[in-house]
């Protein structure tokens, strides 16, 4: 009875007032959260989200929205809730049932908020202790399942992120304690998620992140139960969002990965040179405006420099070719997408640099991920990037023909495309960006743009390392390969993202890239007429298409 009462608006308001009276720190935090909410409502059009799209005709379906843990994202989730409501769903939210989040839920017309703890907190400690006694390394953890849920994968990804490290020392007491606590939590969340789905009986579920504990368990169980599963993600620039429908066959694909059907349709477009020009112009504009993946501030305060200046800054000569290694952030999104050749991003980075060190016929540049700056501030992390620990631990100092570029460089990544002869990544966005310049791209993982005909892919570690050992022998992309790269980029830029018009979405230059949402639609008629919402609602209502896809007429 008390658990059901906690879900009500009345209970949450009374509890909020109680905390305001009793807790000065709570009062202070709420003052700031309330001011931001009121600013959103009255200065950025947020009151437009109050419009009700329910009708008395027919039975409405239920959509379970799995909450992102960041408060600024609550505004974006409120927008997606409006689309679901327009498509005939009542929305139910699970996670973060704090008052500062609930304000946005109530504004969007959502009345019920759940926590996984509503559905039990006992877990299965006996099973956990049995597993801990036998789990010795990464492979064993990655294979660990509980009631069909990939708890081991979620635990490892969450532990890496929580500890802000690129690799786990499974013998270290601190790591073992973290893994034990996280596995207990994941098993508890698995049991609770099963009860949640049984109680809510959602017709669809909606996720942003689904690779960490607290969210991944619901994702796995929903897909296993055949419940329609949607994911949303922020686009490559401001005013863009991406949506995908997931199932057992694509559960680990990146949101931007075109489905087989989408790729076939993109490849069937009668190709025109102007399409290639359009994708390159779009890429340049995004970098020039510092709006390329600005949700994590990748190009904030970066400059596009001339080829000559770039070479001078990096100490590169013009008599040898240049290969650029683009590492992922070692602890971020690990094991989310596809399959990796190496155990983890850390092993990949160390072995890739080892291969670079052994090949002085090329000049190598290791470009650490620029999103480190924003992600570190978002997580309150004052330590150095984990890539530096991995490099220093493995090599000490790098040979003269290997240059390390730090995240805080003013050098735009775009400048590297103009001097690079080769690019190396696991599956980073830079892979298809580089290919647009005719640069051969060596990949070390699946799940994004590999095996589309324009990358150098490998099936084994040995095959991958052999490519690096002889990388200077590979030619630039052929016209046919270049066209395939253009087609992929065209899909990423113009066919897959939803271009927002009912709202404006950009990201503040405040050190943490806070999302800034301004709502333009204020009446029911404006919402129903908005082209972005009409397209999204049609895709949701269709219930079949894996990707939102708009092809040129």
% of the chain at pLDDT higher than 90: 85
Tokens for 156? 């490892």
In whole angstroms, what is the distance from residue 432 CA to residue 438 CA?
10
DSSP state of 399: -
State which H helix or E strand residue 424 sits in.
strand 422-424
* Cβ atoms within 10 Å, residue 132: 13
What pLDDT, in 10s, does the model give residues 444-503?
Answer: 999 899 999 999 999 999 999 999 999 999 999 999 999 999 999 999 999 999 999 999
What pLDDT, in 10s, does the model give residues 13-59?
Answer: 999 999 999 999 999 999 999 999 999 999 999 999 999 887 666 78
Over the Cα atoms of the chain, what is R_g? 24
What pLDDT, in 10s, does the model give residues 516-537?
Answer: 999 999 999 999 999 999 999 9
What does residue 268 show for φ and ψ, rounded to 5 degrees?
-90, -5
Q: Give the per-residue pLDDT at 56.
A: 62
Tokens for 282? 């779009």
Q: At what angle do helices 173-200 and 151-163 cross, to 10 degrees?
A: 130
Q: Give the per-residue pLDDT at 2.
A: 61
% of the chain at pLDDT higher than 70: 99
Start-to-end CA distance of the chain, whole Å, equals 56
Place of tokens 């997931």: 246
Q: Give the per-residue pLDDT at 374.
A: 81
Tokens for 244? 């995908």
Is the pLDDT assigned to residue 410 strictly greater than 70? yes
Q: Give the per-residue pLDDT at 54.
A: 77
Q: Give the per-residue pLDDT at 1.
A: 60
Q: Give the per-residue pLDDT at 148.
A: 94
In whole angstroms, what is the distance from residue 531 CA to residue 548 CA?
14
Q: What is the mean pLDDT of residues 305-310?
A: 96
What 3-state class would DSSP assign to 366?
strand
Q: Give the per-residue pLDDT at 336.
A: 81
* Cβ atoms within 10 Å, residue 386: 24
What pLDDT, in 10s, does the model give residues 147-197?
Answer: 999 999 999 999 999 999 989 999 999 999 999 999 999 999 999 999 999
Q: What is the mean pLDDT of residues 409-419?
A: 96
Beta bridge partners of 498: 241
What pLDDT, in 10s, does the model give residues 374-398?
Answer: 887 877 777 788 899 999 999 999 9
Q: Give the per-residue pLDDT at 111.
A: 78
State which H helix or E strand residue 229 sits in.
strand 228-234
Q: Give the per-residue pLDDT at 335.
A: 79
Q: Give the per-residue pLDDT at 43.
A: 97
Q: Is 439 exposed, middle or buried (0-12, 13-18, 19+ CB in 10 A)?
A: buried
In whole angstroms, what is the distance from residue 185 CA to residue 179 CA?
10
Place of tokens 């500890």: 163
What does residue 256 show for φ and ψ, rounded to 5 degrees?
-85, -5
Q: What is the mean pLDDT of residues 238-245?
A: 97
DSSP state of 46: G
Widest pairwise Cα distance in the chain: 76
Closest of 281, 288, 363, 358 to residue 319, by C-alpha: 363
Please state, rounded to an integer, the average pLDDT across all residues of the chain: 94
Q: Is 505 exposed, middle or buried (0-12, 13-18, 19+ CB in 10 A)?
A: buried
Q: What is the mean pLDDT of residues 252-271?
A: 93
Is the pLDDT assigned to residue 334 strictly greater than 90? no
In total, the chain counts a number of residues equal to 553
Closest of 402, 401, 409, 364 to residue 385, by C-alpha: 409
């Amino acid at each position: 009875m008390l658990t059901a009462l906690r879900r009500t608006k009345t209970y949450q308001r009374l509890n909020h007032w109680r905390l305001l009276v009793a807790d000065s720190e709570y009062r202070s935090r709420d003052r700031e959260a309330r001011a931001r909410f009121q600013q959103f409502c009255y200065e950025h059009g947020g009151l437009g989200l109050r419009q009700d799209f329910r009708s008395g005709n027919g039975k409405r379906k239920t959509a379970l929205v799995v909450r992102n843990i960041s408060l600024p994202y609550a505004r974006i989730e409120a927008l997606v809730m409006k689309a679901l409501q327009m498509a005939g769903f009542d929305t139910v939210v699970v996670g973060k049932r704090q008052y500062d989040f609930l304000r946005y839920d109530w504004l969007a017309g959502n009345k019920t908020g759940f926590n996984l703890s509503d559905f039990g907190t006992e877990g299965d400690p006996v099973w956990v202790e049995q597993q801990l006694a036998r789990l010795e390394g990464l492979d064993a953890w990655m294979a660990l399942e509980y009631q069909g849920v990939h708890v081991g994968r979620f635990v490892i990804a969450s532990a890496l992120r929580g500890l802000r490290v690129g690799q786990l020392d499974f013998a270290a007491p601190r790591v073992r304690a973290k893994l034990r606590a996280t596995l207990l939590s994941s098993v508890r969340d698995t049991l609770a998620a099963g009860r949640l789905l049984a109680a809510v009986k959602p017709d669809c579920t909606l996720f942003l992140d689904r690779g960490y504990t607290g969210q991944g368990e619901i994702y796995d169980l929903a897909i296993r139960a055949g419940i329609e599963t949607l994911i949303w993600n922020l686009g490559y620039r401001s005013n863009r969002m991406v949506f995908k429908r997931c199932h057992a066959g694509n559960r680990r694909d990146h949101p931007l990965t075109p489905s087989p059907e989408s790729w076939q349709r993109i490849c069937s477009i009668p190709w025109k040179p102007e399409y290639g020009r359009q994708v390159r112009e779009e890429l340049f504009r995004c970098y020039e405006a510092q709006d390329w993946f600005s949700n994590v501030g990748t190009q904030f305060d970066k400059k596009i420099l001339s080829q000559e200046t770039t070479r001078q800054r990096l100490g590169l000569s013009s008599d040898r070719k240049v290969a650029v290694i683009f590492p992922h952030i070692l602890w971020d999104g690990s094991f989310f997408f596809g399959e990796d050749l190496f155990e983890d991003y850390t092993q990949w980075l160390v072995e890739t640099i080892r291969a670079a060190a052994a090949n002085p016929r090329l000049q190598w540049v290791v470009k650490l991920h620029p999103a480190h700056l924003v992600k570190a501030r978002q997580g309150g992390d004052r330590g150095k990037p984990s890539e530096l620990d991995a490099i220093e631990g493995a090599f000490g100092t790098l040979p003269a023909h290997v240059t390390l570029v730090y995240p805080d460089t003013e050098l735009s990544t775009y400048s590297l495309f103009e001097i690079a002869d080769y690019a190396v990544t696991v599956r980073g966005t830079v892979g298809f960006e580089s290919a647009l310049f005719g640069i051969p791209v060596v990949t070390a993982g699946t799940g994004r743009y590999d095996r589309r005909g324009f990358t150098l892919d490998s099936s084994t570690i040995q095959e991958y390392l052999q490519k690096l050992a002889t990388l200077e022998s590979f030619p630039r992309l052929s016209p046919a390969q270049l066209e395939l790269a253009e087609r992929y980029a065209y899909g990423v830029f113009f066919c897959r993202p939803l271009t927002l018009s009912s709202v404006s979405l950009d990201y503040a230059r405040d050190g943490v890239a806070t999302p800034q949402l301004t709502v333009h639609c204020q009446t029911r008629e404006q919402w129903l007429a908005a082209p972005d919402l009409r397209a999204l609602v049609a895709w949701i209502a269709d219930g079949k298409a894996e990707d939102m896809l708009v092809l040129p007429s």
